Structure 1
């Protein structure tokens, strides 16, 4: 799967066979964490992330004084390649 394919199916959570294996938070994790502890991945729009889990896994980026949490390892290089694009999309 190419990096471009990573963006198809926004809102879908690919649990296997996709570029992000098991990315995003489950509904149970979201309910347990509370709204302030949840973020949306700026790269894989529609994928929710538990901030503490993402930070523990190193799945975050700081850009222009703002922290962005990522749903999987594949999103890091994509964000790094064009952080302004993803920061704007997340705003």
Structure 2
């Protein structure tokens, strides 16, 4: 079943590949978030201050948002144009 790729199959293959990459990225981010939440739940069970745990969760969310912005910028701006935009 090795038929030559047509322009429409090339486009579809590119879309499928892109979606698979996005799913992989989402799974990675969810796994990181799950590990963080499990760690913070353990800290709470061991008597850590709810304020400290809340601050740690908020800080991690801000870091994830920063990483998401950088990741989106990588996809949006070509490599040569990023320097001009300050990235």
Using the size of structure 2 for normalisation, the TM-score is: 0.29
Task: State the structure with bigger RCO (CA 8 A, min sep 6), 1 or 2.
Answer: 1
Choose between structure 1 and 2: higher helix proportion: 2
Choose between structure 1 and 2: higher strand proportion: 1
Task: Say which one has the larger Rg.
Answer: 2
Using the size of structure 1 for normalisation, the TM-score is: 0.29
